[in-house]
Each structure stands twice: as structure tokens, then as C-alpha cells.
Amino acid sequence: MLLSFTIIIGAAMAQETEKSLPKLPSVTVKNLDGKVINTSELSNNGKPMIVSFWALWCKPCINELTTIADVYDEWVEETGVKLIAVSIDDSRSSSKVGPTVNGKGWEYEVLLDANGDFKRAMNVNMIPHTFLINGKGEIVWQHTSFSEGSELQLIEMVRKLNAGQSLEQH
């Protein structure tokens, strides 16, 4: 098994020259109504999406989403971006996610990843971990952690993506 895996990876690495980007993986999560959603089908009609992993116990995550909430209307109007907030709270707190999100007045699309399947498929170690997805469903940029002002870098990346510029960061 390990050997064959090495062969696969080796061969896949050799294909890297094509420089195609990884797509959103296909796992199932639930929305706040209990509806099953396949993550590979998440879309924003060809416009960019922000996928942000968070949890109720993660203060910096709440800070990030609260900060963005204040400017979210402007972001949507300017860039057409949509933010999908993926809660990794398990069954201990996942039912509190809906009332908390509404109580805070957030207007994001919220998904529940109660057993971490989406988190694992996206290689998330620590939260907050935020991904930028282009109109084709490809992951073009990611960032972990949040501090005051990080949201400006995020929207800058969205603007660059819309303008077709490189997202390389130095």
C-alpha cells in the first residue's frame, strides 16, 4: 500500500508542471437546516468565495468573523465575494452555532463540519484557517490565524483575483 502510494505521489508530483490548482474536495457537511451539502458543489456563480474554518470556542475566529461582518455588505457589493463560515464545533456545541450566528447578525452561509471531515480534507491544523476559492472552485490562496487588520489582506487578495493578478505573497 505504502509503496503504491509513493508511486502515485511521485507520478503526481511529476505532473506539477501543468500548475493546475487543487479543487474543493468532495465531502459532506450540513447546513443550519440539517440539509446535507456536498462541499465540491459549493459555488458563488463564478465569483470568488472565502471559506473560513472556525469554532465557537475559538476567540480569534469569532474576532475575524465579527470584524468582517462590519464590512461584509461593502465587500459583497464591491467584489461579489461570498463568505462560507465552516464551524468545526462537534455535537457538543454544533446546535448552538445557528442561534449564535443569528444572534450576532452574521450574514454568512454557515456549514457544520461536526466530525471534521471537511477540515481534514482541506488539511486544516489550526483555526482560524481561511481559504480563497476562485470562480472555478479552485483553492488559490490560504491563510491561518487572525489579527486586527488581517481582513484587509484578505479583501486585497479577492480584488487581485478579480483583476486577474498574481496572488503570490512575499
Partner 1 sequence: MQSKECKPKKITALNLKSFIPVLVLVISFTSLSVRAQDFLAGGKVTGNFQLDAQVYKADSAIGAEEVEEKMLMNAFANLLYSNGNFNAGLRFETYLNPMLGFDPRYEGSGVPYWFGSWKNDQFDITVGNFYEQFGSGMVLRSYEERNLGYDNALKGARIKFSPTAGVTLKGLIGTQRFFWDQGPGIVRGLDGEIALNDLLDKAGKCKTRVTVGGSFVSKYQALEEIIVNDTSLLKLPANVAAWSARFNLSRGGFTLDGEFASKMNDPSNMNKFIYKNGHSLLLQASYSQKGFGVIASAKRTDNMSFKSNRNERGSVLDINYLPALTRQHTYSLAAMYPYATQANGEMALQGQVNYKIKKGSLLGGKYGTDIALNYARITSIENELPEGTETIVSGTEGYESSFLTFGDELYFQDFNIEIQHKFGSKFKLLVSYLNLNYNIAVIEGHPEDSIPVKASIFIADMTYKFDQKNALKVELQHLGTKQDEGDWLHFLAEYTIAPKWFFTVSDQYNYGNPDKDRRYHYPTVAAGYTAGSSRISLSYGKQREGILCVGGVCRPVPASNGFAVTITSSF
Taking the complex as a whole, the smallest distance from the CB of residue 9 to partner 1 amounts, in Å, to 6
Taking the complex as a whole, the smallest distance from the CB of residue 95 to partner 1 amounts, in Å, to 5
Taking the complex as a whole, the smallest distance from the CB of residue 159 to partner 1 amounts, in Å, to 15
**Alpha helices by DSSP H, the chain:** 2-14, 59-79, 94-103, 117-121, 150-163
Residue whose C-alpha is closest to residue 167's, from 124, 152, 68, 158: 158
**CA–CA dist 98, 95 (Å, integer):** 7
Taking the complex as a whole, the smallest distance from the CB of residue 151 to partner 1 amounts, in Å, to 8
Taking the complex as a whole, the smallest distance from the CB of residue 74 to partner 1 amounts, in Å, to 14
For partner 1, the closer of residues 3 and 163 by Cβ is: 3
For partner 1, the closer of residues 12 and 163 by Cβ is: 12
For residue 3, the tally of other CB atoms under 10 A from its CB is: 7
For partner 1, the closer of residues 55 and 81 by Cβ is: 55
Query: Residue 109, class by beta-carbon neighbours within 10 Å (0-12 exposed, 13-18 middle, 19+ buried)?
Result: middle
Written as one string, the DSSP assignment of 56-85 is TT-HHHHHHHHHHHHHHHHHHHHH--EEEE
For partner 1, the closer of residues 19 and 45 by Cβ is: 19
For partner 1, the closer of residues 47 and 121 by Cβ is: 121
